[in-house]
């Protein structure tokens, strides 16, 4: 497992299928990928409702989560994040 000391969220014990609500494409994510994906989506959701609540640290971690997908699961990146 790649070093994730920078990730402040919980790491789930299991992965799951995730579906892009816009394209309908689905992909199976492992526990780490699902944890990082949920963090990305959580930041986006909160940012949508109250941008003042999101800190630079949230955005930095979000960026690292995206980088993780670019380096480790490019298919999931294009199906879910891009």
How do the domains of the chain map onto residue ranges?
29-81
Reference 12, options 23, 4, 20, 24; nearest CA is 4
Q: How confident is the model at residue 62 (pLDDT cuts 50, 70, 90)?
A: very high
Global pTM reads: 0.90
**Cα–Cα distance for residue pair 60/64, rounded to 1 Å:** 6
Q: What is the pLDDT of residue 41?
A: 95
Q: What is the pLDDT of residue 13?
A: 96
Give the CA angle between residues 57, 62, 68 to the nearest 5°: 130
Q: Please list the residues that pair with 26 across neighbouring strands.
A: 19
Model confidence over 5-31: pLDDT tens digits?
Answer: 999 889 999 999 999 999 999 999 999
Q: What is the pLDDT of residue 69?
A: 97
Tokens of 82: 């891009």
């Amino acid at each position: 497992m790649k070093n994730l000391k920078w990730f402040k969220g919980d790491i789930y014990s299991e992965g799951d299928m995730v579906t892009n609500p816009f394209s309908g494409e689905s992909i199976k994510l492992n526990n780490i990928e699902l944890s990082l994906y949920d963090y990305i989506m959580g930041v986006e959701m909160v940012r949508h409702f109250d941008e003042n609540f999101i800190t630079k640290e949230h955005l930095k971690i979000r960026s690292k989560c995206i980088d993780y997908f670019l380096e480790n699961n490019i298919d999931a990146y294009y199906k879910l994040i891009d």
